[in-house]
Amino acid sequence: MQTNQKKVALVTGGNTGVGFQVAKALADNEYVVYLGARDLRKGEKATAEIGTGVKAIQLDITDSDSITAAAAQIENEQGYLSLLVNNAAISHAGKAGRTLEEILGSQRASIASIDEMKTVWNTNVFGTLAVTQSFLPLLRNAAAARIVTVSSALGSLSLNSNPDTPFRSGFDAVYGASKTALNGIFLSLAIELERSNIKVNLVSPGFTATALNNFQGTDTVEEGSLEPIRVALAEDIPTGSFTGPITSEGDNSVPW
């Protein structure tokens, strides 16, 4: 294991939204960036926008063959991975063109489609963990490595159990609860790896206008990317943290 390694990162779902902004910031800070995209052509278009230091890689986090191929490519080309940014996610698997309110209304626990729930969880929970498991050997090969997982404060049980939380009515069984499960799994991973060379951190972008919410978020993608970029670039954050946009009180920790 070299001690003077160049920094190598993989960003899943990197061709658009927060993932694109994170990939660009990493490339601007001298990382070798692999920009993961389900559609390689869209990934290549995104890398052309960013410029040097970034390379598109085909990666569908719900496809085990795609994950295996991506891991093999990075192992062959680099031999290790310094940073894994788990960004790829979906908010629903229903009819396109619906408003955010319509989507949330259909995802209440009493009426949610089990098939849709399985599809969303397969990406947000199982796919994200599958990618992480497959890249752990490469992360272990790095002198120091980190896993940064883009989650959501919407998945916080502490916040949603508080009647005074303004957005708790949007906590649904499909997307919101998938983020709760994601948070729990990656807290478990942080505990498992806390004596290793790998740090595990979670981050919430806030209510950002992206394809996830039909671009109805209150923050621009640039604003929503600020905290994910900060966490992705920072190497001194303690493992097991969960942070989001800084509040008016100056705090950015997110309760589990």
Q: What is the pLDDT of residues 22-57, one digit of tens each?
A: 999 999 999 999 999 999 999 999 999 999 999 999
| pLDDT score, position 250 | 62
Listed as own residue / partner, the contacts of 2-7 with beta carbons closer than 8 Å and 24 or more positions apart are 2/143, 3/143, 5/80, 5/82, 5/142, 5/143, 6/30, 6/32, 7/31, 7/32, 7/82, 7/83
Euclidean distance between CA atoms 47 and 25, whole angstroms: 12
Longest dimension (CA), the chain: 54
Check if the beta carbon of residue 81 is closer than 8 Å to that of residue 135. yes
The model's pLDDT over 145-185, given as tens digits with 9 standing for 90+, comes to 999 999 999 999 999 999 999 888 889 999 999 999 999 99
Locate the domains of the chain by residue range.
8-243
Amino acid 216: pLDDT: 47
The pLDDT score that the predictor gives to residue 103 is 80
Note the pLDDT of residue 206. 72
> d(Cα 133, Cα 121) in Å, to the nearest integer?
17
Q: Is the per-residue pLDDT at 222 higher than 90?
A: no
pLDDT at 220 over 90: no
What is the set of active-site residues?
175, 179
What does CATH list as the number for 8-243? Answer: 3.40.50.720
Which of 3 and 204 is assigned the larger pLDDT?
204
Q: What's the CA dihedral at 111, 117, 120, 126 to 10 degrees? A: 150
Q: How confident is the model at residue 66 (pLDDT cuts 50, 70, 90)?
A: very high
